[in-house]
Amino acid sequence: GAGVSQTPSNKVTEKGKYVELRCDPISGHTALYWYRQSLGQGPEFLIYFQGTGAADDSGLPNDRFFAVRPEGSVSTLKIQRTERGDSAVYLCASSTSGTSGMKTQYFGPGTRLLVL
Amino acid sequence: KNEVEQSPQNLTAQEGEFITINCSYSVGISALHWLQQHPGGGIVSLFMLSSGKKKHGRLIATINIQEKHSSLHITASHPRDSAVYICAVPLIQGAQKLVFGQGTRLTINP
């Protein structure tokens, strides 16, 4: 069956531009997670959705970052006024409901963002 | 101090050797995850465990809740095991927000 997919796989943009990163979770997974991974580091939590709502957005670094999941399936991570420090791999994961204990998370291949 | 610390950061071994990667954490947890990341970025969940020991093929994961320590072992290592291995724990017990270790880069030479 289809896993988690992310588009684009690579994105190069200029400082100050706006970017959108898309995540298609596994069908039927109600929980969706965004992470950011800088070179040589482990992933860093950004935001977690349960259904359409952001259950925990405490990892978003500042108000330039925003994520939506309007229909409880596909999610878009939006970054305004990009900065060079935003360059990283953005990972998405999904799982079955996260409301009853830890669930195995299934990761997408990531979007590699480079801000010049 | 990071909530999750892994050791070693880098490990090179010969094919066939027994491998141990360690993870220590400072938060109370409900379950710990071991993940594998191959070059190119893809992450695969290997184990999620909250007590004792789990085994899958040549991979074994153990956890000691009292000591806040987990180990990932690989028996009869193979070059295809070369990857970055990452442990992750929820920041708050029962929560979904994971905190990740920095990863252990494993290289198995033929």
User: What's the pLDDT tens digit per position in B48-76?
Assistant: 998 899 999 999 999 998 899 999 999 99
Q: B43, A45: Cβ pair inside 8 Å?
A: no
Contacts of B103 in chain A (CB under 8 A): 41-42
Residue A113's pLDDT band (cuts 50, 70, 90)? very high
Residue B94's pLDDT band (cuts 50, 70, 90)? low
- Give the burial class of A77: count Cβ atoms within 10 A of its Cβ; 0-12 exposed, 13-18 middle, 19 or more buried: buried
Return the pLDDT at A99. Answer: 57
Contact status of B98 with chain A (Cβ, < 8 Å): yes
Q: Looking at residues B86-105, what average pLDDT do you find?
A: 84
Residue A40's pLDDT band (cuts 50, 70, 90)? confident
Query: Quick one: DSSP state of residue A25?
Result: P
- B10-14 and B4-7 beta bridge pairing: unpaired
User: What's the pLDDT tens digit per position in B17-52?
Assistant: 999 999 999 877 778 999 999 887 689 999 999 889
Which H or E element spans position B68?
none
Contacts of A10 in chain B (CB under 8 A): none
Q: Looking at residues A52-65, what average pLDDT do you find?
A: 92
Q: B42, A43: Cβ pair inside 8 Å?
A: no
